[in-house]
Chains A and B, each alone.
Chain A
Amino acid sequence: EPEVTQTPSHQVTQMGQEVILRCVPISNHLYFYWYRQILGQKVEFLVSFYNNEISEKSEIFDDQFSVERPDGSNFTLKIRSTKLEDSAMYFCASSEGGAQHFGDGTRLSIL
């Protein structure tokens, strides 16, 4: 069964550093998403992406965040200057236009 893959599985970074989280969505999917889940809390929407542009973003997705689909297969989330409160699991998801399928996440730890 096709799946969404994410790398790295765990990223440890110093506060203030830039991080790039990578995702390979399911190949025939057209809609891409990033969510995050702080430990013990709910899954929160960050951003959706379709046709090479952002469709919607949440209040969390401020100027420190950006997304890109650089080569037609990867979908990346960049955090420019990380803060302690960015520590969370980050999930990429993709869909054909219905149910979203999630990758297994990147655990981001900011020191």
Chain B
Amino acid sequence: RKEVEQDPGPFNVPEGATVAFNCTYSNSASQSFFWYRQDCRKEPKLLMSVYSSGNEDGRFTAQLNRASQYISLLIRDSKLSDSATYLCAVTFNTNAGKSTFGDGTTLTVKP
């Protein structure tokens, strides 16, 4: 089983749609969770950290379910500029720990 597994995608949605991505992790001792966005041939850019209580940043909402070992990202009112690959990252140590990334889920928002 992969350490971090994401929806395979790709997701093709019209502008204005709501889209959700899921990510599961295998290590129940995982401590920290993040969503990154990666544009083609660019670096991962931190989108948001994921907190136990869930958190929202504008059109983006992240949720964590420790019991089921998954995190999710919801994007409301999709924009063309949201087209990118979304990476889920998990660390096992909140300080110096490495991040383990999922394969990524590609989103294309169409006019």
Contact = CB atoms under 8 A, between A and B. Distances in A.
Place the interface of chain A in its size category.
20 to 34
A56 B44 contact: no
Nearest to A44: B101
Contact of B98 (A33, A41, A105): A33
A82 B45 CA distance: 28
B47 to A, nearest CB: 10
Contacts, number: 57
Place the interface of chain B in its size category.
20 to 34
B43 A91 contact: yes
B103 interface: yes
Contacts of B102: 42
Contacts of A97: 94-96
A101 B47 CA distance: 10
Nearest to A92: B43
Contact of B96 (A35, A48, A89, A99): A48
Interface string A96-107: 011111111100
A31 B95 contact: yes
A31 B97 CA distance: 9
A33 B89 CA distance: 14
Interface of A: 31, 33, 35, 41-45, 48, 50, 55-56, 58, 89, 91, 93, 97-105
22 contacts: A31-B96, A33-B98, A41-B103, A45-B100, A48-B97, A55-B96, A56-B97, A58-B98, A89-B41, A91-B44, A93-B99, A98-B49, A98-B94, A99-B32, A99-B46, A100-B34, A100-B46, A102-B44, A102-B45, A103-B43, A104-B42, A105-B43
